[in-house]
Chain A
Amino acid sequence: MAKKTPEINSSSQADIAFLLLCFFLMTTAMDVDYGITRRLPPPVEQNVDDVKVKERNVMNVLINKNNKLMINGRPSDISLLKEEAKHFMTPRPSDETAPEVETKSIEMLGDVLMSKGVISLQNDRGTSYAMYISVQNELARAFNELKEEMAWRHFHKHLDQLNEDQTKAIGEAVPVRVSEAEPVEK
């Protein structure tokens, strides 16, 4: 009669597996990161003359070291910023005080009225990061709402339902024109 093969005791296998599980649970990070993505401008060359931009084309947003907001020299509040930015960036050809407009033909959209407005953002070294992010977020929200409106006008769809080409066309028609002022030397 053949000898019976001795069995390996496997009762501790579960414990070993649990140990491994605990190890992986502790060393891993499951969190997914979200954030506001921005593109920094290339460094400016020295001695380059400032490009002259007409005053009516610029909306100045200033945050001071006490986290107070100024829009075009008037004290304002973060809760009003989105509407102000949206109003400023909406093309209004008949309004003399509004930014200039130009007509550009874009594939899929045809001729589109575009504002030449730029939002200039300046902060102090003492501004808190939370305030800065709030301002960036409100400005992004203004542009996203303009895009959403345009998407609805042209395609009768929400922004997140558009296909790639449509998203690109809308992005071209409503460029995010937020420029950050060069920091003042310490």
Chain B
Amino acid sequence: MSTSSLPDIVYMLIFFFMITTSMRDVELKVKTALPKASEIAKLEKKALVSSIYIGPPRDAKLGTESRIQLNDQFARPEDIADWVLQEREARNEADRPLLTTALKVHKETRMGIVTDVKQELRKVGAFRINYTTLKGSALEN
């Protein structure tokens, strides 16, 4: 059997994956089992989305209390303002008003920390937010 066309086939697969996917941006340090919702919209334009992760740490030694993760590290609510400014700086000027903050929050997290994050976002003027969820019935949560 001739295998001379095998590399070409595999290269085609590579190109397919290169085009359809985006690089995984961060290493998750917190668990984010998302809640379910039905009235959801697709998050368009991934380049204009920056994510805040909130959930209990994966490392059991750090306890079970939910923590905030920005980029690659744990953060406090006070750090969010600076982070938003950095995220804005990284986009070109025309895109900045369209920047959306996706909140990827573990379902068992208490609302206190989420409220703090939302208040910080309001202070710095990042009004567009998205509660990232899975598809499903919200009554099952």
* Chain B contact surface mostly: mixed
Q: Mark A104-119, 1 if CB is under 8 A from B, else 0.
A: 0000000000000000
CB distance from B88 to the nearest CB of A (A): 16
Chain A residues, CB < 8 A from B133: 34-36, 133, 137
| B112 beta carbon closer than 8 Å to chain A | yes
| B135 beta carbon closer than 8 Å to chain A | yes
Chain A residues, CB < 8 A from B14: 17, 20-21, 24
Please tell me if the beta carbons of A134 and B22 are within 8 angstroms of each other in the complex.
no
Identify which of residues 79-119 in chain B touch chain A, using a CB-to-CB cut-off of 8 Å. 100, 102, 105-112, 114-115, 118-119
Number of B interface residues at 8 Å Cβ cutoff, please give it: 57
Contact A21/B130 with A28-B22, A125-B110, A129-B107 known, Cβ cut-off 8 Å: no
Q: Mark A16-50, 1 if CB is under 8 A from B, else 0.
A: 11101100110111101111111111110000000
Chain B residues, CB < 8 A from A35: 37, 40-41, 43, 102, 130-133
CB distance from A102 to the nearest CB of B (A): 26
Chain A residues, CB < 8 A from B127: 39-42
20 A-B contacts (beta carbon < 8 Å): A17-B11, A21-B10, A21-B13, A24-B14, A25-B17, A33-B49, A33-B130, A35-B43, A35-B131, A35-B133, A36-B37, A39-B128, A126-B112, A128-B107, A128-B110, A129-B114, A131-B141, A133-B141, A134-B139, A141-B38
Q: Top 10 A-B pairs ranked by shortest CB distance?
A: A125-B112, A28-B21, A137-B138, A130-B107, A140-B39, A17-B10, A130-B141, A35-B132, A137-B37, A130-B35
Measured CB to CB, the residues of B under 8 A from A are: 3-4, 6-7, 10-11, 13-14, 17-18, 20-24, 35-43, 46, 49, 100, 102, 105-112, 114-115, 118-119, 121-123, 125-135, 138-139, 141
